[in-house]
Amino acid sequence: MNTSTINDAIRAAWQATGPDEDALHEMRREALEQFLRTGLPTTRQENWKYTNLSGLAERLADDLRGEPTAHPSQQKMLCIADAVQVTFVDGIYRPELSAADELPQGVQLHSLAALAERQPAQLRELYGRLAAFADSPMVALNSAFAGQGAVLEVADGVELARPVCISYRSGRSHIAAQTRLLVSLGARARATVVEHFCSTDSVFVNPVSELHCGPGARLDYCRLQDEHPETWHTALQCAALAENASLHTTQVDIGAALARNELRLNLNGRGAHVEAHGLFMADTARHVDSRIDVNHLAPDTSSRERYRGILAGRARGVFNGRIYVAQDAQKTVAELTNRNLLLNKRAEVNSKPELEIYADDVKCAHGSTTGQLDANSLFYLLSRGVDRNTARNMLITAFAAELLTDMRIPEIAARAQQALEALHTDGETGES
């Protein structure tokens, strides 16, 4: 199909499934027009140089017209102890699979549609402030079709002791799930939020999350992408931190045929701090693209980013990390590291850490390494009677151990460990 035919099909899908007139209808319409003008990103764009979405273009219109499944499978459910559970299936909120009640005073958890109906002005204040559809074709696509989503608001000084686990599940092939998450923490508020993505068939998932952290707020944010090996997954999270706010984020990508996750962090207030950890892995011919953009925009801010990639088979990995320090952001302390492990001679990774500094009084560092399993370490374990598969798993786990032990949700660490042990190396060990 040519571009005009594809655009007509996408417009028809929007008209057929688009929401009724509500607080966001005009924004959705503008986002649709923006996406139709730009289309999907291509490898001619620098930020998408190594990630090709041409295969997605061929199926996009059909996926956008897909019908959600009526009876979702329980496969891959992530059960987090004492969590407040919110469940979406094929992009649709399912209250019968959720348990978002018994929240303490000062905490509100809405669906996006409910907030649009009851408090449209408040929704407009949060929606699209950090993830503007004019900045990204994938955000434009999400904004055009995201009729469903979740909004978590925590009032000033309130601590939400229980984690909020938002599960996005897909159970039917050729569905396009465009969900949205808005989190707003008031001054000195605290919360833990988990997003879990899983599917049992080939789908297209394109979520956007916006995280607002008020003065002195503390947010633990964990994200686990555990999709079907034929799924296309493109995701964006944007966070803004006010004065003395802190964010601890863990990103784990272990599934999908093509996965791209982008994290954008703005440290807007003096004393803001970020700890960002990422673990991505792929085998066979899968592709995983992990990106982080940290903007230090105020004095005395600090960040530390640690990312690990593990590639096996004919998998391809991409890492791009950027630290930006504005001219007024004196006394910034920032560190970015990316380490990659290739388990096969045919696996590859493209890593690009960057520093862009305009302030004088800063302490910033970045680095990247790529290697294979150490032959001497493997030989040592084999000489002590450890079988080859166990020895290999021990070394891979040791490579990821720094991140696994720091994960604040044990269930996510356990799932990541399972994925490490299940990586297919196509008969190669990569230690030579």
User: Would you say residue 392 lies in a domain?
Assistant: no
> Is a pLDDT exceeding 80 seen at residue 139?
yes
Of the listed ranges 308-312, 366-370, 420-424, the least confidently predicted one is 420-424
Q: Looking at residues 305-332, what average pLDDT do you find?
A: 98
User: Would you say residue 248 lies in a domain?
Assistant: yes
> Is a pLDDT exceeding 90 seen at residue 122?
no
> Is a pLDDT exceeding 70 seen at residue 73?
no
Tens digits of residue pLDDT in 229-267: 999 999 999 999 999 999 999 999 999 999 999 999 999
The pLDDT, as a whole number, for residue 70 is 66
Longest dimension (CA), the chain: 70
> Is a pLDDT exceeding 70 seen at residue 20?
no
Q: Which amino acid is at 263?
A: L
User: 388: which residues sit within 8 A by CB, 6+ positions away?
Assistant: 378, 382, 429
**211 CB-side CA count, 13 A:** 32
pLDDT band at 71 (very low <50, low <70, confident <90, very high): low
User: Would you say residue 126 lies in a domain?
Assistant: yes
User: 317: which residues sit within 8 A by CB, 6+ positions away?
Assistant: 280, 282, 287, 288, 289, 290, 309, 311, 340, 347, 348, 349, 350
Q: Are 277 and 306 within 8 A, CB to CB?
A: yes
> Is a pLDDT exceeding 80 seen at residue 32?
yes
Q: Identify the domain containing residue 184 by its residue range.
A: 3-269
What does each C-alpha distance from 188 to 111, 144, 191, 219, 245 come to in angstroms?
24, 34, 10, 10, 8
| Domains identified in the chain, total number | 1
pLDDT band at 27 (very low <50, low <70, confident <90, very high): confident
The pLDDT, as a whole number, for residue 1 is 56
pLDDT band at 91 (very low <50, low <70, confident <90, very high): confident
Tens digits of residue pLDDT in 359-376: 999 999 999 999 999 999
pLDDT band at 432 (very low <50, low <70, confident <90, very high): very low
Long-range contacts of 42-50 (CB under 8 A, 24+ apart): 47/291, 47/320, 50/289, 50/316, 50/318, 50/350
User: Would you say residue 152 lies in a domain?
Assistant: yes
Tens digits of residue pLDDT in 48-67: 999 999 999 889 999 998 88
The pLDDT, as a whole number, for residue 72 is 62
Q: What average pLDDT does the structure give for the chain? A: 92
User: Would you say residue 84 lies in a domain?
Assistant: yes
User: 403: which residues sit within 8 A by CB, 6+ positions away?
Assistant: 250, 277, 278, 279, 306, 308
The pLDDT, as a whole number, for residue 431 is 47
> Is a pLDDT exceeding 90 seen at residue 112?
no
What span, in angstroms and rounded, lies between the C-alpha atoms of 320 and 292?
6
The pLDDT, as a whole number, for residue 254 is 97
The pLDDT, as a whole number, for residue 44 is 95
What span, in angstroms and rounded, lies between the C-alpha atoms of 93 and 109?
13
Q: Minimal CA–CA distance to 160: which of 133, 116, 192? A: 192
User: Would you say residue 184 lies in a domain?
Assistant: yes
What span, in angstroms and rounded, lies between the C-alpha atoms of 31 and 8?
15
Four-CA torsion 115, 142, 255, 197, nearest 10 degrees: 10
% of residues, the chain, pLDDT over 70 = 95
User: Would you say residue 334 lies in a domain?
Assistant: no
What span, in angstroms and rounded, lies between the C-alpha atoms of 431 and 423?
15
- The H or E element spanning position 304 is strand 302-311
User: Would you say residue 221 lies in a domain?
Assistant: yes
